[in-house]
């Protein structure tokens, strides 16, 4: 379980995250939605320790990671994986090298790395014939799968996804959603997903709506379309009138 308590993040006088509280249950999928520029990515980056909060705490396994020094935090967050908005693959490296990069850079021989890369490739449902392809030879959906396979190399207990299906067609997006759900079910991975895609709700346990630096709503995903909250009602239907200010 991850407990975010009174989290605040300011840049100069600009407060982006303002006394935010959210509990992320273990082994479940939490979806975070909200308008562009609300601070969703910033929230994830603080959870994985890439950005330091101005104040507040982030409790992971009973430890406040904001109170740890860099080395301790890194150790504590080894169980975390992060999937970027765009697959961010290295163009000059093939799929094998892209997936195995941290192991290759750590000096492990191919005899050790290759079986691990093959196992992760199978987990994201890509054929072995993909191994020696280069990023420009991959479709958008395949590239996202490779990015996810790279994250899986460290066997993360928590995976944070930042807009993992941006730029994909609806069918490819659906297949990536199924894959994320499958990983969560099979390995009991705690998943936190930032997305604009309401079609992920059917796989989610909790939906949280970030608005004006706060969680305006957090609740079970299964009744999200019918929940009485006016903010959620307006946002997931894309309505221009309601309590959410639209410039
Ligand atoms: N390193 C930074 N320095 C200054 N401002 C930042 C920084 N990172 C994010 N911000 C600001 O925080 C706000 C939220 O950004 P972000 O988390 O990327 O939004 P979202 O992911 O919801 O679209 C933006 O207004 C952005 O300008
Ligand atoms: Mg973002």
CATH class label, 2-237? alpha beta
**23-33: pLDDT as tens digits:** 999 999 999 99
pLDDT-derived band of residue 39, with 50, 70 and 90 as boundaries?
A: very high
> From the CB of residue 198, how many other CB atoms can be counted at a distance below 10 Å?
17
pTM above 0.85, yes or no: yes
Q: What are phi and psi of 54, to 5 degrees?
A: -70, -45
Domain segments of the chain as ranges: 2-237
> What's the confidence (pLDDT) of residue 86?
59
99, 101, 103, 105: CA torsion to nearest 10? 170
User: Atom of ligand 1 at shortest distance to CA of 9?
Assistant: 12
Residue 56 has pLDDT above 90, yes or no: yes
**Which residue out of 11, 20, 46, 216 has the highest number of ligand 1 atoms within 8 Å of its CB and is therefore the one to mutate?**
11
- The verdict on the CB of residue 16 being under 6 Å from ligand 1 is yes
**Closest ligand, as measured to the CA of 11:** 1
**Closest ligand, as measured to the CA of 38:** 1
% of the chain exceeding 90 in pLDDT: 83
Tell me how many degrees the CA angle 104-175-133 measures, rounded to the nearest 5: 35
Total length of the chain:
247
> What's the confidence (pLDDT) of residue 75?
87
User: Atom of ligand 1 at shortest distance to CA of 34?
Assistant: 22
**153-195: pLDDT as tens digits:** 999 999 999 999 988 899 989 989 999 999 999 999 999 999 9
User: Atom of ligand 1 at shortest distance to CA of 35?
Assistant: 22
Write the DSSP string, the chain. Answer: -EEEEEEEEEETTEEEEEEEEEEE-TTSEEEEE--TTSSHHHHHHHHTTSS--SEEEEEETTEEGGGS-HHHHHHHGGGEEEE-SS----TTS-HHHHHHHHHHHTT--HHHHHHHHHHHHHHTT--GGGTT--GGGS-HHHHHHHHHHHHHTT--SEEEEESTTTT--HHHHHHHHHHHHHHHHHH--EEEEE-S-GGGGGG-SEEEEEETTEEEEEEESTTTTT---HHHHHHHHT-SSSSS---
**67-105: pLDDT as tens digits:** 999 899 888 888 898 887 656 899 999 999 999 999 999
- The verdict on the CB of residue 38 being under 6 Å from ligand 1 is yes
Closest by CA to 51, choosing from 65, 37, 63, is 65
- The verdict on the CB of residue 228 being under 6 Å from ligand 1 is no
- The verdict on the CB of residue 11 being under 6 Å from ligand 1 is yes
């Amino acid at each position: 379980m991850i407990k975010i308590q009174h989290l605040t993040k300011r840049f100069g006088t600009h407060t982006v995250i303002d006394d935010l509280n959210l509990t992320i249950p273990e082994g479940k999928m939490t979806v975070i939605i909200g308008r562009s520029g609300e601070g969703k990515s910033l929230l994830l980056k603080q959870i994985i320790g890439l950005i330091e909060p101005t104040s507040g705490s982030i409790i992971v396994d009973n430890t406040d990671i904001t109170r740890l020094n860099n080395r301790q935090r890194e150790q504590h967050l080894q169980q975390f994986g992060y999937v970027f908005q765009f697959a961010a693959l290295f163009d000059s490296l093939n799929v094998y090298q892209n997936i195995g990069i941290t192991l290759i850079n750590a000096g492990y021989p191919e005899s050790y790395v290759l079986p691990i890369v093959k196992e992760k490739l199978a987990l994201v449902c890509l054929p072995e014939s993909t191994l020696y392809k280069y990023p420009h030879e991959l479709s958008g959906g395949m590239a996202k799968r490779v990015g996810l396979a790279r994250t899986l190399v460290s066997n993360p207990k928590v995976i944070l996804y930042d807009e993992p299906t941006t730029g994909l067609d609806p069918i490819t997006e659906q297949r990536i959603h199924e894959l994320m759900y499958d990983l969560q079910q099979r390995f009991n991975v705690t998943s936190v997903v930032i997305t604009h895609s309401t079609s992920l709700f059917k796989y989610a346990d909790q939906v949280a709506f970030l608005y004006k630096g706060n969680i305006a709503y957090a609740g079970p995903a299964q009744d999200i379309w019918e929940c009485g909250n006016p903010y959620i009602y307006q946002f997931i239907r894309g309505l221009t009138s309601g309590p959410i200010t639209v410039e």
